[in-house]
Structure 1
Amino acid sequence: MTILIEGLSKRDAEDLLEFELKNRIFFEEMVHSRGDEYFTPDVFNNILAALLDEQFQGLSQFYLIKDRTKNGLGRINLVDFDEFRKVCHLGYRIGQVYTKKGIASKALAILLESLTDTTIEVIKAKTTTNNIASQKVLEKNGFEKIVGTSDEQFEINDQKVNFIFYKWTKGNQL
């Protein structure tokens, strides 16, 4: 499947909310719930406006993952830019019907290839011990495990998990 990533904009609000609602139960199997209020249009639009402001200020980059017909498949983000340390943090989520198709790996590869004109040299990421698919996506794209797993254990969907931390360094790509 051919995919592309496009910068998030205000015109994406309705489609993005629909994507999040459609995949809410699936996402909450792997990450904590954002709560019911997040999904109300007014709150969602305010959150989107704040994200777009953050993006405008150069503190983060938010992208939608789409197929060639512009159908939304997921999201991928670089957040918490630290220009002094030249580091930021990665996040992504793929809609349930699009999992196990290599979309997250392809989107991450596209994102990493786009970093040639940026000062970012290190990208940090984390996933949970039960999210094997996400671990594979990161490792396939040259992320290395750092520090192992967190000591802090927490519960998602009645399952005890820990975080696993990863780091990608510019120039060390596969």
Structure 2
Amino acid sequence: MLTVQLIPPTPDVADELLRFETDNRAFFEARINARPPGYYSLQGVQAAIEQARRDSAEDKGYQFLMRDAAGVLVGRVNLAGVRRGQFQMADLGYRIAESAGGRGHASAAVRLVLAKAFGELGLRRVEANARVDNEGSVRVLLRNGFTQFGRSTRSFELGGVWHDRLHFERHAD
């Protein structure tokens, strides 16, 4: 089984996180909407880390950096939009470095973050979505027990092209 470690982003990893995001910027932006240009600076990443820390403290969202067995930053995974009350749910997102794709890092990280979501955080439901043509992401979700519950047409615009999305859910055991 592939070993990955999830750690919350902290100010001491800002340089490394900026390098990760800059090195993979074109790869990510070909698949998902771009971050604001100001993000790609040390100050931008530091502000994002501080926002992630506030979101966690306020139980709004949880971000994690993904390290492989050698300690290399290979991705990110997050639980966003935490909704308590009658919902007890969040939305799952993840991104893997281009050089680390297809090696099981995303599957391992999603498995770990689901354990945290359904354990320590007490969530009962996690939702995720993927573009129809993102077969790798769909496989990650299915491997981790997600079930597809819908499809939205022309729901995501990237580079002037509209894409369909598949919607998935996973419930606490």
Q: TM-score, normalised by structure 2?
A: 0.90
Matches within 5 A, 1:67-146: 67-84=68-85, 85-114=87-116, 115-146=118-149
Contact 1:10–1:52 (CA under 8 A) maintained in structure 2: no
CA distance in 1, matches of 2:30, 2:4: 25
Give ranges in structure 1 of 5+ residues lacking alignment.
none
One-letter code of the match for 1:32? Answer: N
CA distance in 1, matches of 2:164, 2:99: 26
Q: Cα 1:55–1:118, aligned 2, differ >3 Å: closer, same or farther? A: closer
**Aligned-CA RMSD value:** 1.6
Cross-structure match for 2:61: 60
Displacement over 6 Å in runs of 4+: none
Deviation at 1:156, TM superposition (A): 2.8
One-letter code of the match for 1:72? Answer: L
CA distance in 2, matches of 1:35, 1:21: 12
CA distance in 1, matches of 2:155, 2:8: 34
Q: Cα 1:64–1:40, aligned 2, differ >3 Å: closer, same or farther? A: same
Secondary structure at 1:111 match in 2:
helix
What per-residue deviation string (whole Å, max 9, x for no partner) do you get for residues 100-149 of structure 1? 101100111122223323320000111111211101100110111112x2
CA distance in 2, matches of 1:26, 1:156: 13
What per-residue deviation string (whole Å, max 9, x for no partner) do you get for residues 17-36 of structure 1? 11000000000111011132
Identity among equivalent positions (%) equals 24
Secondary structure at 2:75 match in 1:
strand
Give ranges in structure 2 of 5+ residues lacking alignment.
none
Deviation at 1:157, TM superposition (A): 4.8
CA distance in 2, matches of 1:154, 1:91: 15
Q: TM-score, normalised by structure 1?
A: 0.90
Comparing 149-158 with 50-59, which one deviates more in the overlay?
A: 149-158
Cross-structure match for 2:52: 51
Q: Cα 1:87–1:132, aligned 2, differ >3 Å: closer, same or farther? A: same
Contact 2:107–2:143 (CA under 8 A) maintained in structure 1: yes
